[in-house]
Structure 1
Amino acid sequence: MTERQHQLATVRGGNASGPERLCAVTRQSLDPKDLLRFVLGPDGAIVPDLDRKLPGRGVWVGCDRGLVEKAVRNHTFAKSLKTGVKAPADLADRIDALMVKRLSGTLSLANKAGLVIAGFDRVFAALEKGSVAAILHGMDAAADGRSKIDRKFKAIQGSRGLEARIVDVLTIAQMSLAIGRGSVVHAALTPGGLSDRFLEEAERLTRYRSPATETATIFSEAQSEG
């Protein structure tokens, strides 16, 4: 296992969220938090049920873009539901967009609750105070600004035996829109329920875009580098 794979596995750790379900593509039994649920909508269309609460018989697919694309190609939904339903060809893109919308909405709520610190200087100052639960970077942010913040955050968290949670799944434009100010490249979350919810949603989007065999973009570290 590579270091990045270990990082993603660490993020996925935690209590099980319920009885296992069978992935319709791989036929593996997994915890619901590692799966996406789909139901047949009133209009006969396949509907992603990200909250896993919609009524009706569910079809479960691993939280992996490639598996969703395979389910569409192989008509997995029609076979599982025993109907002639045809999933839209862009279903994988629609799910990604839904996840981004949910994540951005949660970030907006966290900001309104006073849990978001935006801007390089303000984030760096917050690190000095030790009140940061996670660091956020625009996924298109320059590496030099990111590395300076990350090194300090990892060192601080490592000295305390705490995880250094760093997220870069939203673009600068998406972060800026959610926070309601121009050009938010770097931000930080302070501890709180909405921060925890944001991190859970970010981890799911990361998992969807980056299977365990690829690079993770949200990770946990208990010790500083070096």
Structure 2
Amino acid sequence: MDAATANEDELALDAGPGGRAPQRTCIVTRAVAAPESLIRFVLDPEGVVVPDLRGRLPGRGAWVDARRETVAEAVRRRQFQRAFKGKAKAVPEDLADRVGAGLRADLRQALALANKAGCVVTGFGKVEAAIGGEPGIAALFHAAEASADGRRKLAQALRRRHGDAISRIPVVDDLSEDELDMALGRDHVIHAALVAGVGATGCLARWRRLRSFEGAGTAIEEPGLARDDGGGPPPPEGA
């Protein structure tokens, strides 16, 4: 079998002494990596290439580095046709946009689940109180349309609570007000806070994946705003 068209679902490399860890190869870069750092694509019943963000859909899979530009390159270079050995009847030109939309939907769903678990507070006053209270917050959410004044005041509250460790608290402003409303089941959500608990870790993992896909990263320094530097408080047991 040609290396460029190998079935990536069957690839498993030694993780070293003590066991084996599943690995996958990007059909564009040929780099080998853990599945969580790539995106799996499969063919739907009509033979159209679709993203499988959860890695659960049946059938042969093709794996691509989880970055927008790499997915776009896979489309441009007809890598999916090669990976699926000519069985791909259609590869959407906007496949990278579809992945981005799916990752945003995943983040909204994770936030909704965290909210159902009682791990989200909304409203400027409640968020400010949660920042200063116990146990504190795991992340701060702003609607993309949030005013600079509201952001600045909550950043000041974070600074009072965490001092120079403010960058350990992720600030998420990738979702619009409408998206926050949809996720949390209420109107006019501008500021929200994620507190430690079931669902918090998964929610932030989905945010980081979205940011990575869009090439934005999670370590952005902006005056008056805290951004995640990959640190933060340890996740709670069972989160």
TM-score bracket, shorter-length normalisation: 0.7 to 0.9
Deviations 1:50-89 (A, max 9, x none): 1112222211111111111111111110011111523111
Q: CA deviation at 1:30?
A: 1.9
Give the whole-Å Cα distance in 1 for the aligned partners of 2:152 and 2:51. Answer: 36
In structure 1, runs of 5+ residues without a counterpart are: 1-17
* Structure 2 counterparts to residues 5-44 of structure 1, below 5 A: 18-44=21-47
Structure 1 residues 33-58: Cα deviation after superposition (integer angstroms, max 9, x where no partner): 21101112222111211111222221
1:66 counterpart letter in structure 2: E
2:81 alignment counterpart: 78
Amino acid at match of 1:220: D
| Structure 1 segment 197-216 matched on structure 2, within 5 A | 197-210=202-215
Aligned residue for 1:193, secondary structure, equals coil
* Deviation beyond 4 Å, 4+ runs, structure 1: 158-162, 214-218
1:140 aligns with 2:145: yes
- Equivalent in the alignment of 1:49: 52
Task: Flag the structure with more relative contact order, 1 or 2, with Cα contacts below 8 A and sequence separation at least 6.
Answer: 1
Aligned sequence identity (%): 38
Q: CA deviation at 1:123?
A: 0.4
More helix by share: 1
After TM superposition, the score normalised by the length of structure 1 is: 0.81
- Structure showing greater Rg: 2
1:110-121 residue pairs with structure 2 within 5 A?
110-121=114-125
1:195 matches 2:200: yes
RMSD, matched Cα: 2.7
SS class of match (1:169): coil
The structure 2 residue matched to 1:102, chosen from 103, 106, 131, is 106
How far 1:186 moved relative to its partner? Answer: 0.9
Matched residue of 2:55: which SS?
coil
Aligned length: 206
Hey, what's the Cα distance between the residues in 2 that align with 1:218 and 1:24? 32
